[in-house]
Structure formats: C-alpha cells, structure tokens
C-alpha cells in the first residue's frame, strides 16, 4: 500500500521503450514530482459509456507499481474522477475549483442539443452545470487537455447516424490543442504512457487527428499475425485472414497486434473477429462493421465492388 514516487518512476522507466522516455526524462519527472508543482489530474465524463475509465482500471505493467491502485496511491494527484473518488457533492466540486495547475482529461463527447442539458455533470450554486459548461470553465486553465476515447476525440458512437443530441467532440469543443487518445475503448497503457510523457515535460508528437504518433503510427494490418494467410470465408475458422469479413485493419492505426488487450490475453483478431476500426476518426462509419463487403459478407458470400475498395485500402496501407 505504501507506494512511493520512486516506484512510479520505475514504472515510467519500464514504459520508456513503449513511449520513448529517456533517463533524462525520468529524472525530469522525478524533479517535477518532488516539487509541489506536480500537475493534478481532473477527469470529467460526458456523453460516453465510461468504458475508457473501466479500461484504465485494467492497467497492468511488468514492474511496480503494476496496477492502477498503486498508481493512484502513488504520485498521481487525481482531484476528480466520478467513478473512484470518495467525496461527493459540493466537496467534490470545491476540490476542482481550488486546483490551479492541472491536466484536464475529457472522456465523452459534448451534446449541444437541449442547451447542453442532455449531459449534466454537477450542480453548483444551485444550478445544473452541463458538461459543455464545465469544459468551458476548465479548459482555458489546463496545462494540457487529454481526450480519452473515441467519444471525446471524435464524437464516437453517440455522434453517429443522425446524431440525436448533436454531439461535438470534446477535442473540437475546447477550441484548443488536445492530445487525442483514440479507441473504443482506449487502452490503459496509452493513457498512462501519455501522462508520463507530459510529466516528463516532453512534447508529444501528434498526427493530423491529434493522436500520439508513438501509439497510432502503424496500421493494425501491417503488424497482423494473420497478414498474408488464407482468407476466411466465414466466422469460426482458425487463424485465417479476416479481410473478406470486413476487417478494418488496413485503414486503422493502432498497436493492438503486438500490445494486445487485458494484460496481453487477447485482441479482436485473435478472437476470430475482424478489426472494427475503433481508433479511426470515422468510427463507426454508416457502413456495417462487416463491410466493405456489406451484410452479405456476414454469411461468407462475396459481393461485387469489393475488390476496388480493398485496393484503395491496400493503397493507403502502402503509403505507411
């Protein structure tokens, strides 16, 4: 239970390979954490399913502190997180207002219909405060803004179709530069690694969608262990390429094939399922998850027009 900041630094050292932290960075984090100026973290939830927070609880790495509880007991000064925090009510809101130097983490998109009241985050001075209002008051004072998950980064599933609550991504709603940790949900190591980079005072190189290049630099397809294998024509076949069943691997940038999920237990393709493209800004497209072949692909039937579209995808892959 008694986890020191030193333990946290060991974790950062272990993560260094994945996130490009150097010994100098680790030293810088140590200096920062030793001072009272270490940034606090304020985590707000908007129009989302909270799956990214649940995913964060799955954090585990090779070295102490291995898990999220050790991280929370250690150096992270988590001021506000609706799922895990002890305090409720005005005490919780007061903690936010008393915080000056903080990283703002946003989970969920911003509904703009109904005056923003499709998502109310708390009451303050007797008034309901919408998620949008909370962002407007907290974003300008944040040292950095991290959007966690597809809904915050790009609107995600609640913004799909006719977008009934007129959701705007938290990233664009702030009007400021945000670091977009994509994914539905996002991976715990992507969150922790990015925060470690920020604590080290490093700039985090971002792609055109605001995603850290160190995480979202390669396609799933490029690293897929089933690349080049015989094509599956229906589900339930062992170790075959899922391209013809709608796999989004060629157009999806994520490290899932080698980082995997849930403590390296598995990932989508390993479970015989096509990549759904859940880190792509277009997720979920209006098309079926089992397109580009369309619904018929679900039963293993081929459909005209597939080849052209797949060639486009292969072309995109080649550029990388």
Residues designated catalytic: 49, 52, 151, 184, 221, 224, 241, 247, 256, 268, 275, 278
Q: How far is the CB of 24 from other proteins (least distance, A)?
A: 29
Q: Which residues contact 147 (CB under 8 A, 6 or more apart)?
A: 106, 153, 169, 170, 171, 178, 179, 180, 181, 210
Site for other proteins in 224-263 (CB under 8 A): 234-238, 261-263
Q: Which stretch binds other proteins (CB under 8 A): 70-78, 136-144, 203-211, 218-226?
A: 70-78
Would you call 44 helix, strand, or coil by DSSP?
Answer: strand
User: Between residues 106 and 268, which has the closer beta carbon with respect to other proteins?
Assistant: 268
Q: Measuring CA to CA, how many Å separate 101 from each of 41, 142, 311?
A: 9, 7, 49
Q: How many CA atoms lie within 13 A of 130 on its CB side?
A: 17
Note whether 78 binds other proteins by CB under 8 A.
Answer: yes
14 vs 23: CA distance, rounded Å: 11
What track of x and - describes contact with other proteins for positions 199 through 228 (by CB under 8 A)? ------------------------------
Q: Which of 19, 122, 216, 253 binds other proteins (CB under 8 A)?
A: 122
d(CA 161, CA 309): 22
Among 289, 293, 306, 313, interactor with other proteins by CB under 8 A: 289
Residue 120: closest CA among 112, 131, 110: 131
Q: Of these, 24, 31, 88, 143, which contacts other proteins (CB under 8 A)?
A: 88
Q: How far apart are CA 23 and CA 212, in angstroms?
A: 21
Nearest distance from residue 95's CB to other proteins, in Å?
Answer: 8
Residue 87 within binding range of other proteins, rule CB under 8 A: yes
- Beta-bridge mates of residue 130: 120
- The span from the CA of 103 to the CA of 43, in Å, is 8
Is residue 63 near other proteins by the rule CB under 8 A? no
Instruction: Return the half-sphere exposure (C-beta side, CA atoms, 13 A cut-off) of residue 28.
Output: 12
Output 177 or 239, the one with its CB closest to other proteins: 239
306 makes contact with other proteins (CB under 8 A):
no
Smallest separation, CB 162 to other proteins (Å): 6
Q: Of 14, 38, 157, 227, which one interacts with other proteins (CB under 8 A)?
A: 157
Least gap, CB of 255 to other proteins (angstroms): 13
Candidate residues 38, 117, 139, 206; the one interacting with other proteins per rule CB under 8 A: 117
Residues 13-52 that bind other proteins (CB under 8 A): 45, 47-52
Tell me: does residue 83 bind other proteins (CB under 8 A).
yes
In the block, tokens 């715990």 appear at 188
Q: Measured from the CB atom, is 165 or 197 closer to other proteins? A: 165
**Spatial distance between the Cα atoms of 81 and 236, rounded to a whole number of angstroms:** 40
| Span interacting with other proteins, options 8-16, 20-28, 79-87, 203-211, rule CB under 8 A | 79-87
What Cα–Cα distance (Å) separates residue 204 from each residue in 40, 197, 232, 256?
A: 19, 7, 39, 20
Residue of the chain from 14, 16, 18, 95 that contacts other proteins (CB under 8 A): 95
**Residues 1-20 interacting with other proteins (rule: CB under 8 A):** 1
Bridge partners for 145 per DSSP: 104
Assigned token pair, 159: 């913004």
């Amino acid at each position: 239970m008694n986890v020191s900041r030193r333990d946290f630094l060991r974790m950062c050292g272990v993560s260094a390979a994945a996130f490009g932290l150097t010994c100098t960075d680790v030293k810088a984090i140590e200096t920062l954490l030793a001072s009272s100026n270490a940034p606090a973290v304020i985590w707000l939830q908007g129009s989302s399913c909270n799956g990214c927070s649940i995913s964060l609880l799955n954090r585990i790495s090779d070295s102490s502190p291995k898990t999220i509880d050790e991280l929370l007991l250690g150096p992270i000064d988590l001021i506000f997180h609706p799922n895990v925090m002890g305090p409720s009510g005005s005490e919780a809101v007061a903690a936010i207002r008393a915080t000056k130097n903080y990283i703002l983490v946003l989970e969920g998109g911003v509904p703009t219909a109904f005056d923003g009241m499709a998502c109310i985050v708390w009451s303050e001075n007797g008034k309901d405060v919408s998620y949008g209002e909370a962002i407007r008051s907290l974003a300008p004072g944040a040292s950095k803004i991290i959007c966690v998950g597809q809904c915050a980064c790009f609107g995600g599933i609640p913004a799909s179709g006719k977008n009934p609550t007129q959701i705007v991504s938290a990233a664009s709603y702030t009007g400021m530069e945000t670091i977009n940790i994509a994914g539905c949900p996002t991976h715990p190591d992507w969150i922790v690694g990015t925060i470690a980079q920020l604590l080290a005072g490093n700039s985090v190189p971002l792609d055109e969608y605001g995603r850290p290049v160190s995480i979202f630099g390669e396609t799933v397809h490029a690293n897929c262990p089933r690349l080049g294998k015989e094509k599956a024509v229906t589900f339930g076949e062992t170790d075959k390429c899922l391209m013809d069943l709608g796999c989004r691997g060629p157009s999806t940038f994520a490290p899932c094939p080698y980082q995997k999920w849930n403590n390296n237990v598995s990932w989508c393709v390993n479970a015989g399922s096509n990549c759904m493209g859940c880190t792509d800004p277009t997720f979920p497209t209006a098309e079926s998850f089992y397109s580009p072949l369309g619904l018929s692909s679900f039963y293993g039937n081929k459909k005209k027009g597939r080849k052209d579209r797949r060639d486009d995808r292969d072309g995109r892959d080649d550029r990388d």
